[in-house]
Amino acid sequence: MSSVALPRTIFDESHNDFRDIVRRFVEREVTPHLDAWTEAGRVDRSLFERAGATGLLGISAPARYGGGDVDDFRYNAIVIEELARAGATAVSMSLCGFNDLIAPYFIDFGSDEQNRRWLAPMVAGERIGAIAMTEPGTGSDLAAIATTARPDGDDFVLNGSKTFISNGLLADVVIVVARTDAAAGRGGFSLLVVEDGMPGFTRSGPVKKIGLGAQDTAELSFADVRVPRANVLGSPGDGWTQLRRNLPIERLHIATTSMARMRATFDQALSYSMERTAFGQRIADFQANRFYLAELATQIEVAQVFVDRCILDAATGRLDAVTAAMAKWWVTELHQKVIDRALQLHGGYGYTREYPVAHDYMDSRVATIYGGTTEIMKEIIGRRLTRED
């Protein structure tokens, strides 16, 4: 059985062909290794090389850097959906995290020299990237970032720490958000590229999380790290504007992940309820359960239509911060509801790792937190609604 009730019209034949490529890649290169990667706390570096060779990295990057040269978020969404459908949300954060959270900063703000030096090897999967925003004392409050980068001749001297950094242990290249001018407020942030091996740059981890075991999450520390001015993306002081430009895509990335994963979880719960019997009848035949299934199926379809609209907006450069915030909080919160009901339908078995719903239960909880909490998303929306123009 499947929850699919409404046809999705945002994809054409070329997208469907690409989906077939991604699905085969996931079946061949991801699914067989998930348990081992979860045990190791990170994916194998070779995954990036295989993804690069298949054309799954740097989809929107210019061809001169080895990218797909296709600025169409529908392709990005397909990679997200296929990994999420397979229960590989942690892997999606590694691969799709590069496409949606890291590559855009190089594509939009990197010089040709910087992109040949860093972007091209990352697109090929030869090097791995990360972005470091969150700090131990700031959480979703980016304006409170305390990491500093003091100008000193041809360098910036970087001091501070970052936490919950995806790909933090594997990364060869890290975009670090830091204050380069303490007196300039939001105009004092810059994006600095820190490279593995720079003196004073250390990391620890992986952070022991309750879910997303295969996702390399680390803490980074910077003690008088000398970062050349040539490693600044864009111009010093542009960091806040650069972050605001890409955060809507990051939030749609999270919403798309939750959307695909909740549909897979619902389908599994529906199938289970059709097969499992209790008190002489199928679980699905109890009226209360039929009502739960009907409610969730309807909410999933409504959410999918909205997410598809956002994907199209992103593909055409029209996605705005408020719409992305709406998608992020609504879909991730709905995901929690779907998982809760799906696990309940599984009964005691839902609480065992034998069934995918248990993994989804652990992996999905953080979606309402990272990328900006649900409360921050509502604040973004509320401020726009009550603003007097």
Tens digit of pLDDT for each residue in 173-204?
Answer: 999 999 999 889 999 999 999 999 999 999 99
In angstroms, the first-to-last Cα distance of the chain is 50
CA–CA dist 367, 358 (Å, integer): 16
Helix (H) / strand (E) containing 374: helix 374-386
CA–CA dist 222, 216 (Å, integer): 19
Chain Cα centroid distance, residue 144: 22
pLDDT score of 139: 72
Which two tokens mark 45? 């570096």
Q: Which of 303, 321, 327 is nearest to 380 (CA)?
A: 321
pLDDT at 257 over 70: yes
pLDDT score of 27: 98
pLDDT tens-digit series, residues 130-141: 999 999 988 777
Q: Which of 51, 55, 3 is nearest to 28 (CA)?
A: 51
pLDDT score of 389: 66
pLDDT tens-digit series, residues 360-379: 999 999 999 999 999 999 99
pLDDT tens-digit series, residues 292-339: 999 999 999 999 999 999 999 999 999 999 999 999 999 999 999 999
Q: What is the dihedral sign for C-alpha 338, 340, 344, 348? A: positive
Beta-strand runs (E) in the chain: 129-132, 148-152, 155-166, 173-179, 189-195, 201-204, 217-228, 232-233, 277-278, 281-282
**Fold type of domain 13-127:** Butyryl-Coa Dehydrogenase, subunit A; domain 1 (1.10.540)
Report the DSSP pairing between strands 155-166 and 148-152: antiparallel
CA–CA dist 334, 214 (Å, integer): 24
Name the percent of the chain lying above pLDDT 90: 93
pLDDT bin (cut points 50, 70, 90) of residue 255 is: very high
pLDDT at 272 over 90: yes
pLDDT tens-digit series, residues 54-84: 999 999 999 999 999 999 999 999 999 999 9
Name the percent of the chain lying above pLDDT 70: 98
CA–CA dist 140, 229 (Å, integer): 27
Give CATH for domain 131-237: 2.40.110.10
Length of the chain: 389
- Phi, psi angles (nearest 5°) of residue 370: -75, 160
Encoded amino acid at 287, one letter = Q
Question: Per-domain residue ranges for the chain?
Answer: 13-127, 131-237, 241-386
Catalytic residue among 27, 126, 250, 295: 250
pLDDT score of 138: 81
pLDDT bin (cut points 50, 70, 90) of residue 1 is: very low
pLDDT score of 5: 57
Helix (H) / strand (E) containing 368: none
pLDDT bin (cut points 50, 70, 90) of residue 143 is: confident
**pLDDT (average), residues 226-230:** 98
CA–CA dist 237, 227 (Å, integer): 15
**pLDDT (average), residues 259-273:** 96
Chain Cα centroid distance, residue 152: 35
Q: Do 13-127 and 131-237 fold alike per CATH? A: no
pLDDT at 147 over 50: yes
Compute CA distances 242 → 237, 268, 362, 376, whole Å. Answer: 10, 40, 32, 19
Query: Which one of 1.20.140.10, 3.30.230.10, 2.60.120.650, 1.50.10.10 gives the CATH number of domain 241-386?
Result: 1.20.140.10
**157 neighbors 224 (Cβ within 8 angstroms):** yes
Active site residue 250: yes
**pLDDT (average), residues 134-159:** 91
Look over the chain and give the mean of its residue pLDDT values, rounded to a whole number. Answer: 95
CB contact set of 61 (below 8 Å; sequence gap of 6+): 67, 68, 69, 103, 106, 107, 119, 123
Q: Which of 153, 175, 13, 169 is nearest to 107 (CA)?
A: 175
Q: Report the predicted TM-score, pTM, of the whole model to 2 decimal places.
A: 0.94
pLDDT score of 388: 76
CA–CA dist 186, 242 (Å, integer): 11
pLDDT score of 142: 80
CA angle 308, 312, 316 (to 5 degrees): 170
pLDDT at 2 over 90: no
Helix (H) / strand (E) containing 259: helix 239-275
pLDDT at 356 over 60: yes
CA–CA dist 349, 342 (Å, integer): 11
